[in-house]
Structure 1
Amino acid sequence: MKERITLCGDNCIECSRYNAHSEAELKRVAELWYRVGWRDKVVTNEEITCSGCSSHKAGTYGLVDCIMKHSVEKCNQCEAFPCDNIMDMLERSKNL
Protein backbone atom coordinates (compact mmCIF):
# COMPACT_ATOMS: atom_id res chain seq x y z
CA MET A 1 0.00 0.00 0.00
CA LYS A 2 1.23 3.48 -0.84
CA GLU A 3 1.73 5.78 2.15
CA ARG A 4 2.29 9.43 2.91
CA ILE A 5 2.47 9.79 6.68
CA THR A 6 1.59 13.05 8.49
CA LEU A 7 2.74 14.52 11.83
CA CYS A 8 0.31 12.44 13.85
CA GLY A 9 0.79 9.25 11.88
CA ASP A 10 -2.23 9.47 9.58
CA ASN A 11 -1.80 8.21 6.02
CA CYS A 12 -2.69 11.08 3.66
CA ILE A 13 -3.39 8.64 0.83
CA GLU A 14 -6.49 7.46 2.73
CA CYS A 15 -7.66 10.97 3.72
CA SER A 16 -10.77 12.44 2.09
CA ARG A 17 -9.33 15.94 2.40
CA TYR A 18 -6.06 14.99 0.70
CA ASN A 19 -7.96 13.25 -2.10
CA ALA A 20 -10.54 16.01 -2.70
CA HIS A 21 -9.74 18.08 -5.77
CA SER A 22 -12.97 19.37 -7.31
CA GLU A 23 -15.11 22.08 -5.76
CA ALA A 24 -17.88 19.54 -5.08
CA GLU A 25 -15.48 17.08 -3.40
CA LEU A 26 -14.02 19.82 -1.21
CA LYS A 27 -17.49 20.96 -0.15
CA ARG A 28 -18.45 17.37 0.79
CA VAL A 29 -15.29 17.04 2.89
CA ALA A 30 -15.98 20.35 4.68
CA GLU A 31 -19.52 19.19 5.48
CA LEU A 32 -18.29 15.78 6.66
CA TRP A 33 -15.60 17.25 8.90
CA TYR A 34 -18.19 19.53 10.49
CA ARG A 35 -20.59 16.62 11.10
CA VAL A 36 -17.93 14.46 12.76
CA GLY A 37 -16.66 17.33 14.93
CA TRP A 38 -13.31 18.02 13.28
CA ARG A 39 -14.42 21.62 12.60
CA ASP A 40 -16.87 23.81 14.50
CA LYS A 41 -18.51 25.01 11.25
CA VAL A 42 -18.56 24.14 7.55
CA VAL A 43 -15.44 25.89 6.30
CA THR A 44 -14.75 27.24 2.81
CA ASN A 45 -13.25 25.13 0.06
CA GLU A 46 -10.12 27.25 0.29
CA GLU A 47 -9.74 26.44 3.98
CA ILE A 48 -10.42 22.69 3.62
CA THR A 49 -8.01 22.24 0.68
CA CYS A 50 -5.01 20.21 1.81
CA SER A 51 -1.66 21.90 1.40
CA GLY A 52 0.20 19.64 3.81
CA CYS A 53 1.00 20.01 7.49
CA SER A 54 2.61 23.32 8.35
CA SER A 55 2.80 25.91 11.07
CA HIS A 56 0.02 28.10 9.61
CA LYS A 57 -2.62 25.39 10.06
CA ALA A 58 -5.09 25.70 12.92
CA GLY A 59 -6.12 22.07 13.32
CA THR A 60 -8.35 20.92 16.11
CA TYR A 61 -5.62 18.86 17.79
CA GLY A 62 -2.85 21.50 17.97
CA LEU A 63 -0.26 19.06 16.63
CA VAL A 64 1.72 21.53 14.53
CA ASP A 65 2.29 23.87 17.47
CA CYS A 66 3.06 20.90 19.69
CA ILE A 67 5.79 19.41 17.47
CA MET A 68 7.37 22.85 17.11
CA LYS A 69 7.32 23.30 20.90
CA HIS A 70 8.99 19.91 21.40
CA SER A 71 11.47 20.37 18.50
CA VAL A 72 10.48 17.21 16.63
CA GLU A 73 9.25 16.55 13.10
CA LYS A 74 6.66 13.86 13.92
CA CYS A 75 4.65 13.11 17.04
CA ASN A 76 6.20 9.69 17.57
CA GLN A 77 9.65 11.30 17.93
CA CYS A 78 8.55 13.18 21.05
CA GLU A 79 9.38 12.01 24.58
CA ALA A 80 5.77 12.75 25.61
CA PHE A 81 4.28 10.48 22.92
CA PRO A 82 1.51 9.43 23.20
CA CYS A 83 0.41 12.71 24.74
CA ASP A 84 -3.02 14.13 25.57
CA ASN A 85 -3.30 15.62 22.05
CA ILE A 86 -2.82 12.19 20.46
CA MET A 87 -5.08 10.44 22.97
CA ASP A 88 -7.81 13.04 22.31
CA MET A 89 -7.44 12.55 18.55
CA LEU A 90 -7.70 8.76 18.92
CA GLU A 91 -10.69 8.97 21.26
CA ARG A 92 -12.59 11.34 18.96
CA SER A 93 -11.75 9.20 15.93
CA LYS A 94 -13.15 6.09 17.66
CA ASN A 95 -16.60 7.65 17.68
CA LEU A 96 -16.79 8.30 13.94
Structure 2
Amino acid sequence: MNKHNQLIAACGLNCNECDIFQAPNNPEIAQEIVDWFKKEKDTEAKIEDVRCLGCNGDRTKHWSPDCWILKCCVDKNGLEFCNQCTDFPCEKLNQWAKESKGYEEALNRLKEMKRKSLDCDLSED
Protein backbone atom coordinates (compact mmCIF):
# COMPACT_ATOMS: atom_id res chain seq x y z
CA MET A 1 0.00 0.00 0.00
CA ASN A 2 1.47 3.36 -0.92
CA LYS A 3 1.30 6.40 1.34
CA HIS A 4 -1.45 8.06 -0.75
CA ASN A 5 -3.71 5.00 -0.44
CA GLN A 6 -3.50 5.13 3.36
CA LEU A 7 -5.65 8.25 3.23
CA ILE A 8 -8.30 6.74 0.95
CA ALA A 9 -11.02 4.74 2.68
CA ALA A 10 -12.16 1.35 1.44
CA CYS A 11 -15.21 3.11 -0.03
CA GLY A 12 -13.13 5.76 -1.80
CA LEU A 13 -13.70 8.65 0.63
CA ASN A 14 -10.62 10.85 1.04
CA CYS A 15 -9.77 10.91 4.74
CA ASN A 16 -7.98 14.26 4.39
CA GLU A 17 -11.29 15.85 3.36
CA CYS A 18 -13.19 14.33 6.29
CA ASP A 19 -14.01 16.59 9.23
CA ILE A 20 -14.03 13.65 11.64
CA PHE A 21 -10.53 12.61 10.50
CA GLN A 22 -9.33 16.20 11.03
CA ALA A 23 -11.15 16.78 14.34
CA PRO A 24 -8.45 15.52 16.76
CA ASN A 25 -6.07 18.18 15.41
CA ASN A 26 -8.70 20.88 15.02
CA PRO A 27 -10.78 21.67 18.12
CA GLU A 28 -12.98 24.06 16.14
CA ILE A 29 -14.06 21.31 13.73
CA ALA A 30 -14.53 18.88 16.63
CA GLN A 31 -16.83 21.32 18.40
CA GLU A 32 -18.84 21.90 15.22
CA ILE A 33 -19.39 18.15 14.92
CA VAL A 34 -20.45 17.85 18.57
CA ASP A 35 -22.85 20.77 18.10
CA TRP A 36 -24.25 19.22 14.91
CA PHE A 37 -24.98 15.93 16.68
CA LYS A 38 -26.75 17.75 19.47
CA LYS A 39 -28.87 19.83 17.08
CA GLU A 40 -29.55 17.39 14.23
CA LYS A 41 -29.53 14.02 15.99
CA ASP A 42 -30.47 15.06 19.53
CA THR A 43 -27.42 13.08 20.65
CA GLU A 44 -24.75 14.05 23.12
CA ALA A 45 -21.30 13.52 21.64
CA LYS A 46 -18.00 14.21 23.36
CA ILE A 47 -15.14 15.94 21.60
CA GLU A 48 -12.79 13.09 22.51
CA ASP A 49 -15.10 10.65 20.69
CA VAL A 50 -14.93 12.60 17.43
CA ARG A 51 -12.01 10.81 15.85
CA CYS A 52 -11.13 8.37 13.13
CA LEU A 53 -7.81 6.93 12.01
CA GLY A 54 -9.28 5.73 8.72
CA CYS A 55 -10.04 2.24 7.47
CA ASN A 56 -6.41 1.22 7.75
CA GLY A 57 -6.09 2.52 11.30
CA ASP A 58 -7.00 1.12 14.68
CA ARG A 59 -10.61 -0.06 14.37
CA THR A 60 -11.32 1.01 17.96
CA LYS A 61 -10.53 4.55 16.80
CA HIS A 62 -12.57 4.33 13.61
CA TRP A 63 -15.57 6.65 13.45
CA SER A 64 -17.82 3.82 12.35
CA PRO A 65 -16.26 0.44 13.22
CA ASP A 66 -19.51 -1.23 12.19
CA CYS A 67 -19.49 0.37 8.70
CA TRP A 68 -21.08 -2.09 6.27
CA ILE A 69 -18.58 -1.20 3.53
CA LEU A 70 -15.60 -1.77 5.83
CA LYS A 71 -17.05 -5.08 7.02
CA CYS A 72 -17.72 -6.30 3.48
CA CYS A 73 -14.55 -5.06 1.79
CA VAL A 74 -11.94 -5.58 4.49
CA ASP A 75 -13.36 -8.14 6.92
CA LYS A 76 -15.33 -10.42 4.59
CA ASN A 77 -13.29 -10.15 1.38
CA GLY A 78 -9.83 -9.22 2.71
CA LEU A 79 -9.50 -6.32 0.28
CA GLU A 80 -8.10 -2.84 0.71
CA PHE A 81 -10.62 -1.09 -1.56
CA CYS A 82 -14.06 -1.96 -2.92
CA ASN A 83 -12.75 -1.60 -6.47
CA GLN A 84 -10.67 -4.75 -5.98
CA CYS A 85 -13.84 -6.83 -5.65
CA THR A 86 -15.08 -8.90 -8.59
CA ASP A 87 -18.57 -7.44 -7.99
CA PHE A 88 -17.39 -3.81 -8.16
CA PRO A 89 -19.39 -1.69 -8.24
CA CYS A 90 -22.08 -3.71 -6.51
CA GLU A 91 -25.68 -2.53 -6.33
CA LYS A 92 -25.38 -1.71 -2.63
CA LEU A 93 -22.37 0.55 -3.29
CA ASN A 94 -24.18 2.22 -6.19
CA GLN A 95 -27.16 2.94 -3.93
CA TRP A 96 -24.84 4.31 -1.22
CA ALA A 97 -23.23 6.65 -3.78
CA LYS A 98 -26.65 8.15 -4.55
CA GLU A 99 -27.03 9.32 -0.93
CA SER A 100 -24.69 12.30 -1.26
CA LYS A 101 -22.37 14.12 -3.63
CA GLY A 102 -19.41 13.11 -1.44
CA TYR A 103 -20.33 9.43 -1.72
CA GLU A 104 -20.73 9.78 -5.48
CA GLU A 105 -17.26 11.36 -5.66
CA ALA A 106 -15.89 8.48 -3.56
CA LEU A 107 -17.30 5.90 -5.97
CA ASN A 108 -15.90 7.83 -8.92
CA ARG A 109 -12.51 7.93 -7.17
CA LEU A 110 -12.59 4.14 -6.85
CA LYS A 111 -13.49 3.78 -10.53
CA GLU A 112 -10.60 6.05 -11.49
CA MET A 113 -8.19 4.15 -9.23
CA LYS A 114 -9.29 0.90 -10.89
CA ARG A 115 -8.88 2.39 -14.37
CA LYS A 116 -5.37 3.61 -13.52
CA SER A 117 -4.49 0.22 -12.05
CA LEU A 118 -5.66 -1.51 -15.23
CA ASP A 119 -3.70 0.98 -17.34
CA CYS A 120 -0.55 0.17 -15.33
CA ASP A 121 -1.13 -3.57 -15.72
CA LEU A 122 -1.48 -3.18 -19.49
CA SER A 123 1.68 -1.08 -19.77
CA GLU A 124 3.69 -3.77 -17.99
CA ASP A 125 2.87 -6.37 -20.66
| TM-score, L = length of structure 1 | 0.65
CA-based RMSD: 3.3
1:19 aligns with 2:22: yes
- Unpaired runs of 5+ residues, structure 1, are none
1:76 equivalent in structure 2: 83
Cα displacement string for residues 10-62 of structure 1 (whole angstroms, at most 9, x for unaligned residues): 11122222222233321313427x85xxx794643333212222555436751
Q: Which is richer in helix?
A: 2
1:45 aligns with 2:51: no
- For residues 52 and 82 of structure 2, the distance between their equivalents in structure 1, rounded to whole angstroms, comes to 19
- For residues 65 and 91 of structure 2, the distance between their equivalents in structure 1, rounded to whole angstroms, comes to 15
**Structure 1 counterpart of 2:68, one-letter code:** G
| Displacement of 1:77 | 0.5
Residue among 57, 63, 72 paired with 2:69: 63
- For residues 15 and 8 of structure 1, the distance between their equivalents in structure 2, rounded to whole angstroms, comes to 13
How many residues align? The count is 90
| Displacement of 1:90 | 1.1
- For residues 90 and 49 of structure 2, the distance between their equivalents in structure 1, rounded to whole angstroms, comes to 27
- For residues 85 and 40 of structure 1, the distance between their equivalents in structure 2, rounded to whole angstroms, comes to 28
Name the larger-Rg structure. Answer: 2
Q: Secondary structure at the match of 1:72?
A: coil
- For residues 11 and 83 of structure 2, the distance between their equivalents in structure 1, rounded to whole angstroms, comes to 7
Contact 1:61–1:89 (8 Å) recurs in 2: no
| TM-score, L = length of structure 2 | 0.53
The percentage of aligned residue pairs carrying the same residue is 28
- Unpaired runs of 5+ residues, structure 2, are 103-125
Q: Which moved more, 1:55-64 or 1:12-21?
A: 55-64
2:97 equivalent in structure 1: 90
